[in-house]
């Protein structure tokens, strides 16, 4: 292997650099604020769990478990997996720490990386980031609507235009009968379907509904709809869910083909999509997963939640909100000469203690290159420190938004920096400095 090949990230992985991360941090802060208002509290679970936790919860026949997990044997020969999602981990943590003790629901949220060895395509990463929320302990549709309302209110605050798609995937009582019907029809239509659909007809018939292959579409449209084959309880649940959505004034579209790529869902399943995302248009996916805890050996508990792709959300943030995430430097200290450099360091220390974001060119370039750096750092003010300033104890403070300048003592500089700022028009040139 040559040295050069070590200087690249692995396929599907990427570095997130400071300029880009300001958007991420802006979304993360908005998430914490919004979710906090709904009573959700953060949970952090390990990035690695026992392979069996995901295999059993997500389902052996799913794409995720079948071909996308990063699974290894550790030093003791135990099979471990980098988490492809976090719902199973949250349910495990809930049971492990007996969080069901006490009354009411438990509302948890998480932010962090997930890992799936996906085929390379736009909008899909092998290390990607999710913001997710889970509510444990209630089977009421009002919980579903409150949780959906929370994510929609976050998205509308971020001015991201989306559409809510909902469905019911039934339960362990009505779904098997529906799948029988589906299988019978799929057998009849087999010769018209793609290879994946034919395989899934046997292994995971519901997933056929999710096929995107053009030539399959007319046949899939003929298949029975799950919403016509729900048991009475599931049907009542779905009615009540829609009623609560309407009461909350949340527009939605019923999508009978929405089945999701994980096996643990019962009853309500939903997605939030964006037309601006192209083929990978799903921004949020979620649903109800009553019974998942028991599958993992835990107590019976109802669950509902969602996860949102942060990588995708970042792409949708409208540029006109940028002033809310651009990181500004309050003061850049430009220095000329060795003595001025020492004074600049001293002053920066004092201004930072006062709470200002200060920066200095420690590499010590010309005034021109220091001002270029000030510009790149989005500085609001530059303080110029030269021999004259050292002699008089008054420094030249340039306001970069209106190009005004004042000669001030350090205490006056602090007062000036505390004044409200206007827009940023770039750093001045060194002429006349
Ligand atoms: P999911 O549909 O597999 O659900 O993923 C949720 C979201 O994560 C997707 O809608 C998408 O935005 C994002 N996502 C998934 N894979 C990738 C990828 N390779 N690259 C970029 N973004 C991706 C779950 O993970 C469930 N745990 C959701 C849930 C929580 N259900 C109940 N509670």
- 93-131 pLDDT, tens per residue? 999 999 998 878 999 999 999 999 999 888 899 999 999
Confidence band of 262 (pLDDT split at 50, 70, 90) = very high
C-alpha to C-alpha distances, 49 to 54, 126, 353, nearest whole angstrom: 8, 17, 43
Q: Say what the pLDDT of residue 410 is.
A: 96
CA of 200 to the centre of ligand 1 (A): 21
Q: What percent of the chain has pLDDT over 70?
A: 96
| Distance in angstroms (rounded) separating the CA atoms of residues 192 and 425 | 62
For ligand 1, residues with CB inside 6 Å are 85, 87, 116, 118, 124-125, 128, 130, 132, 134, 261-262, 282-287, 289, 305-307, 309, 311-312
Q: Say what the pLDDT of residue 156 is.
A: 96
Q: Say what the pLDDT of residue 5 is.
A: 75
By three-state DSSP, how is residue 242 classified? helix
- pLDDT at residue 433 tops 60: no
Q: What is the mean pLDDT of residues 258-286?
A: 93
- pLDDT at residue 144 tops 50: yes
Question: What's the pTM?
Answer: 0.91
Contact 169, 206 (CB under 8 A): yes
Q: Which two tokens stand for residue 168?
A: 């019911």
| Top-confidence residue, 109 or 200 | 109
Q: Say what the pLDDT of residue 430 is.
A: 43
CA of 306 to the centre of ligand 1 (A): 8
Q: Supply the residue whose CA is at minimum distance from atom 16 of ligand 1.
A: 124
| Distance in angstroms (rounded) separating the CA atoms of residues 125 and 123 | 7
Which atom from ligand 1 is nearest to the alpha carbon of 260?
2
Pocket test for ligand 1, best of 85, 260, 311 (most atoms within 8 A of CB): 85
| Distance in angstroms (rounded) separating the CA atoms of residues 38 and 105 | 12
| Distance in angstroms (rounded) separating the CA atoms of residues 205 and 243 | 30
| Distance in angstroms (rounded) separating the CA atoms of residues 137 and 408 | 62
Q: What is the mean pLDDT of residues 404-415?
A: 96
| Top-confidence residue, 427 or 377 | 377
Confidence band of 416 (pLDDT split at 50, 70, 90) = very high
Q: Say what the pLDDT of residue 421 is.
A: 61
- pLDDT at residue 432 tops 70: no
Q: What is the mean pLDDT of residues 330-342?
A: 96
Could you give the residue ranges of the DSSP H alpha helices within 221-309?
232-247, 292-295
Q: Supply the residue whose CA is at minimum distance from atom 17 of ligand 1.
A: 124
Q: What is the mean pLDDT of residues 22-39?
A: 97
Q: Say what the pLDDT of residue 330 is.
A: 96
Q: What is the mean pLDDT of residues 228-239?
A: 97
| Distance in angstroms (rounded) separating the CA atoms of residues 355 and 375 | 21
- pLDDT at residue 210 tops 90: no
- pLDDT at residue 422 tops 70: no
- pLDDT at residue 1 tops 90: no
CA of 149 to the centre of ligand 1 (A): 18
Q: 166's torsion region: left (phi>0), alpha (psi -120 to 50) or beta?
A: beta
Average pLDDT score over the chain: 93
Buried-exposed string 51-89: b where 16+ CB fall within 10 A, e elsewhere: bebbbbbbbebbbbbeebbeeeeeeeeeebbbbbbbbbb
């Amino acid at each position: 292997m040559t040295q050069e090949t070590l200087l690249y990230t692995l396929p599907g992985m990427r570095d997130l650099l400071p300029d880009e991360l300001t958007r991420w941090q802006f979304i993360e802060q908005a998430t914490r604020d919004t979710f906090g208002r709904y009573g959700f509290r953060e949970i952090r679970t390990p990035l690695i769990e026992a392979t069996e936790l995901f295999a059993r919860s997500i389902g052996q026949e799913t794409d995720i478990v079948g071909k996308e997990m990063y699974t290894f044997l550790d030093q003791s020969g135990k099979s471990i997996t980098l988490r492809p999602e976090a719902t199973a981990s949250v349910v495990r943590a809930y049971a492990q720490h007996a969080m069901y003790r006490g009354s009411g629901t438990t509302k948890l949220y998480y932010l962090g990386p997930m890992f799936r060895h996906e085929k390379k395509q736009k909008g899909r990463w092998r290390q990607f980031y999710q913001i997710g929320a889970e509510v444990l302990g209630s089977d009421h549709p009002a919980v579903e609507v409150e949780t959906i309302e929370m994510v929609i209110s976050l998205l509308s605050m971020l001015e991201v235009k989306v559409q809510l798609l909902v469905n019911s995937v039934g339960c362990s009582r009505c779904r098997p009968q529906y799948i029988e019907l589906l299988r019978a029809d799929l057998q009849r239509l087999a010769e018209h379907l793609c290879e994946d659909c034919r395989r899934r007809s046997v292994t995971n018939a519901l997933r056929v509904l999710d096929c995107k292959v053009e030539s399959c579409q007319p046949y899939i449209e003929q298949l029975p709809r799950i919403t016509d084959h729900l048991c009475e309880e599931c049907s009542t649940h779905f009615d009540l869910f829609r009623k609560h959505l309407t009461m909350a004034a949340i527009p939605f579209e019923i999508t009978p083909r929405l089945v999701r790529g994980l096996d643990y869902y019962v009853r309500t399943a939903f997605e939030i999509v964006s037309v601006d995302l192209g083929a990978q248009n799903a921004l949020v996916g979620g649903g109800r997963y009553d019974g998942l805890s028991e599958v993992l050996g835990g107590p019976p508990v109802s669950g509902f939640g969602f996860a949102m792709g942060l990588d995708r959300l970042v792409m949708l943030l409208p540029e006109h909100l940028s002033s809310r995430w651009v990181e500004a430097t309050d003061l850049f200290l430009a220095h000329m000469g060795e003595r001025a450099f020492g004074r600049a360091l001293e002053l920066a220390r004092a201004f930072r203690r006062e709470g200002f974001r200060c920066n200095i060119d420690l590499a010590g370039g010309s005034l021109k290159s220091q001002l270029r750096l000030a510009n790149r750092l989005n500085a609001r003010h530059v303080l110029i420190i030269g021999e004259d300033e050292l002699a008089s104890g008054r420094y030249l403070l340039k306001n970069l938004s209106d190009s005004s300048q004042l000669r001030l003592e350090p205490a006056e500089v602090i007062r000036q920096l505390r004044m409200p700022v206007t827009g940023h028009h770039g750093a001045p040139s060194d002429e006349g400095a």
